[in-house]
A = this chain, B = another copy of it.
Amino acid sequence: MALREVSIIGVGCTPFTQLEGETLKSMATAACLEAIKDAGIERNMVEAFYVGNVLSGMLLGQVTIAPLIVNSLGLNRDIPSTSVEGACGSSSLALREGYMQVATGLCDIVLVAGVEKLTGFPTEKLTQSMTGSLDHEIDGVTGLTFPGFWGLIAMRHMYEHGTTIEQMAMVSVKNHDNSVLNPRARFRNKVDLDTVMNSRLIASPLKLYDCCPISDGASAAILCPAEMAKDYTNKPIDIIGIAQTTGYASLQDQPKQTYLPATVSSAKKAFEMAGLQASDIDVAELHDCFTPAEIVDSEDLGFFEKGKGGQAVEEGLTRVEGKIPINPSGGLLAKGHPVGATGIGQVYEIVRQLQGEHENQVKGAEIGLTHNAGGSGSVCTVTILRRR
């Protein structure tokens, strides 16, 4: 059965920061209304709604948020509204479900979103909740947390490939440089290498500035068939590759601790679907929850050979003016990481890049990629977007 081409005709994204007084509903509603306005559609045209969220139950005691948002937005109530969850990859799952609704002809106009409220909670509660995405029966009982998870991968990557602590720190420096221009970013100040290197140790070898900040925020996108997109916008962005695969649920099960197998498998599928390869990508937003993650991702996606990701950062290849600009938004490290909202937040940044309207524009960007990972890499997604 032939699938229809699918376009993004509108996007919305709140700042990813500490949004005091905002609720899940208010943030999600703001991002969705922005996307609806950006697309120039009427609310009653939305035929299905998917939202990604991870921790509203554990932190706020609120689940079943999809219908709350549909009601808050004033959408038709005779549409399905579904919450999806895949840890920090949740809203990319929402995007993919929406993509399939449109590609298969089940719907013409679909709204997808992500939302998370993470600030204002005691650190211990927050850490416990975030750790809920690891396998509690295996990694969880060891006391492993995500900084520890990525610290272990960093250690092994240094051991096997000679990656240095400085190279990892340079990821943070670059992404903070990028976020200065991004009004949606949590941190808009530059940090120098010394500041990163001398910041407080979190989980060896990772220091404070190697770790992304928890944030509040919401993101949204409107999808429709490519053939209808020009009715709504002069700058539709086409989804030409999209894939989601499953990884190992615990670190100890992985064959090696220097890569995420599900990043590799989802990239393979997304590139095959697009008929492209890594070298065709002009700009990428990768899941840099910790500095070694961006290096590992950049290798797993094929931008650099395995083990060469650290060197690439050192050589400036991933800067905005480099060979493959990575995280010109500031990434999770500096834009922020409201986990369930992050994936469609990445898509927002790439859409604006491909429309030529980003505050930290990559010159002439035509094809962009987002990579979003959840848990122990147990959920990975890759999305490839192209401007018309």
Contacts and interface: CB of A to CB of B under 8 A. Distances in A.
A245 interface: yes
Contact of A64 (B57, B64, B82, B85): B85
Given A1-B105, A58-B58, A104-B1, A132 B63 contact: yes
A379 interface: yes
A309 interface: no
A319 interface: no
A75 B378 CA distance: 13
Contacts of A57: 54-55, 57-58, 63, 129, 132
Interface stretch (A92-100, A142-150, A193-201, A280-288): A92-100
A18 to B, nearest CB: 20
Contacts of A265: 77-78
Interface in A54-78: 54-55, 57-58, 60-64, 66-68, 70-72, 75, 77-78
Contacts of A1: 1, 4, 104-105
A261 B261 CA distance: 45
A374 B84 contact: no
A244 interface: yes
Nearest to A134: B64
A295 to B, nearest CB: 23
A79 interface: yes
A19 interface: no
Contact of A106 (B54, B104, B243): B104
User: How many residues of A sit at the interface, in one of the four size bands?
Assistant: 35 or more
A233 interface: no
A250 to B, nearest CB: 8
Nearest to A378: B67
A364 to B, nearest CB: 33
Contacts of A244: 80, 82
A224 to B, nearest CB: 15
A347 B4 CA distance: 32
Given A77-B265, A105-B1, A84 B86 contact: no
A96 B79 CA distance: 13
Contacts of A323: none
A375 interface: yes
A253 interface: yes
A136 interface: yes
Given A58-B61, A77-B265, A379-B81, A246 B70 contact: yes
A260 to B, nearest CB: 11
A110 interface: no
A306 interface: no
B93 A82 contact: yes
Given A71-B248, A77-B248, A379-B81, A87 B64 contact: yes
A1 B70 CA distance: 27
Nearest to A65: B85
Contacts of A91: none
A132 B62 contact: yes
Contact of A63 (B23, B106, B133): B133
Interface string A95-133: 011001100111000000000000000000000110111
A262 interface: yes
8 contacts: A57-B57, A60-B136, A61-B140, A66-B379, A68-B249, A68-B378, A104-B104, A104-B105
